[in-house]
Amino acid sequence: MSQVDLAGSILAHQVTDGRVATVAVNEFVFQKPVFVGDVVSCFATVIKSGKTSITINIEVFSERDHCRKECVQVTNATLTYVAIDENREPRTFDIK
């Protein structure tokens, strides 16, 4: 779960051009397990933004069989972040 939050926060930071805080885990679906030895990749996209908040969908894929390059989706999550200032108060941002 922390890997998914990190993946989402990286995009949120880039889009808002500054510090963000996670304010909600709107949805978190574990579709399949991740096994030891899997190579995990997270892909994040913005699905909604407001004056101070941004909602991001994160899809997680696992490469299972390195010989066959089999990739399966293992998790899908939607998290909301709020842009914060140096005093940890919400701040507005413009989508770039």
Residue 88 within a domain: no
Say which CATH number the domain at 66 has. Answer: 3.10.129.10
Q: Which two tokens stand for residue 22?
A: 């996670």
Identify whether the C-beta of residue 54 lies closer than 8 Å to the C-beta of residue 20.
Answer: yes
Provide the whole-model pTM.
0.90
Q: Which two tokens stand for residue 20?
A: 């963000």
Residue 92 within a domain: no
User: Quick one: pLDDT at residue 96?
Assistant: 66
Give the C-alpha separation, 72 to 61, whole Å: 5
Domain that holds residue 36: 2-83
- What are the CA-CA distances from residue 33 to residues 44, 68, 73, 77 (Å)? 20, 19, 10, 15
User: Quick one: pLDDT at residue 65?
Assistant: 75
Q: Provide the percentage of residues in the chain whose pLDDT is more than 90.
A: 89
